[in-house]
Amino acid sequence: MPTPKLQRQVTTLWDYPSQNYGREDQGDRSYIGATPSYIIWNCLMRYTNEKDLVVDPMCGSGTTLDVCRDTNRRPLGYDVNPTRKDIFRCDARKLPLENGKVDFVFVDPPYGDNVNYSDEKGCIGKLPAYGEEYFKAMEEVIAEINRILRPDRYMALYVCDYYDKKNGFVPIGFRLYQMLSKHFSTVDIISVTRHNKTINMGNYRKAADEGNFYLRGFNYLFIMKKEGRGAPRKVGTMPELPAEKKSRPESGRGGVKPSAKGKAPVRGRSGGASSGRRGTGRRTDNHGKDKK
Ligand SMILES: C[S@@+](CC[C@H](N)C(=O)[O-])C[C@H]1O[C@@H](n2cnc3c(N)ncnc32)[C@H](O)[C@@H]1O
């Protein structure tokens, strides 16, 4: 099915017509929890320039990497459970990168434990959102993003609140925003319409109505800036690319070169080659996310 033209969003309410743009997929649409590529495309068009170094520390199926390659940005992706060879195995709390070298960070973290991404040690998707451990872990991820980001550069965090009948509502968005505000100034807060399948399923809607709770209808996109002594510059100056005409380089090309064979650029911490294994992506909670 043809997908509509890519467009920069101009209000704080973003919607996307389909999970992917163009003829090729970005990331893996069968990966439960894959970020809609339109969201990442819009962030890159506004807050980066060509050749900028873009990091996704929780890369999942690699959507950020593919959008970066489509738009001539240099991507680096990390995950505790790499699903493809161009994603480096690494915990987002200890990235093998020097301080202040990255031009943009996009991150779409687990929203508690509602999706079973993997059984890898360090997977934050194993920590329930109604417990404090999840927030402690995310505090470390956010501090690490601040460490690697250049001054005068931007980052975006995409997240959804949590609800389950037993534990009730957890305002993940507000909690993570408070953490972000300790390091960054706020550029804007975007509300992104969710198109997860369950939202339109009769039994889910009935349960929400009868049980007097709400299905998650939107994600937050927090757009933040690291203030500092970096040279101010114009961003988002690149004209829109005709996505239909571009063919993406093979996975693994176009990114930042590893410092050693199969290894991520190292700062003395672990970050080896990917196993190529795919996460189970099994959803364990019905009111959380499936497709974003
Ligand atoms: C919502 S998914 C990311 C989806 C991705 N943006 C995409 O489009 O496919 C969250 C990811 O965080 C990863 N993750 C969980 N804990 C992590 C950690 N401590 N460090 C790095 N990645 C982690 C999971 O393995 C999962 O792939």
Sorted by where each starts, the structural domains of the chain and their CATH numbers stand as 13-265 (3.40.50.150)
Give distance in angstroms: CA of 279 to centre of ligand 1: 10
Q: Residue for token digits 């329930």?
A: 128
Q: Is the pLDDT of residue 4 over 70?
A: no
The total number of residues written for the chain in this structure: 292
Tell me the per-residue pLDDT of 101-116, one tens digit each, with 9 for 90 and over: 999 999 999 999 999 9
- C-alpha distances in Å from residue 233, one per residue of 44, 49, 152, 200: 15, 10, 8, 43
Q: Is the pLDDT of residue 283 over 90?
A: no
Helices (H), 55-184: 63-70, 132-148, 172-183
Quote the mean pLDDT of the chain. 84
- At 260 the pLDDT is 37
Which residue(s) pair with 224 in the sheet?
Answer: 155, 186
Nearest C-alpha neighbor of 136 from the set 146, 145, 124, 148: 124
Pocket of ligand 1, beta carbon within 6 A: 27, 31, 33-35, 57-61, 63, 78-81, 91-93, 108-110, 117-118, 122-125, 279
- At 265 the pLDDT is 39
Which residue(s) pair with 157 in the sheet?
Answer: 107, 222
- Which residue has its alpha carbon closest to ligand 1 atom 3? 60
Give distance in angstroms: CA of 237 to centre of ligand 1: 29
Q: Specify the pTM.
A: 0.84
- The sign of the CA dihedral 36, 37, 41, 44 is positive
CA 236, distance to chain mean position in Å, is 19
Q: Give the ligand 1 atom nearest the CA of 28.
A: 9
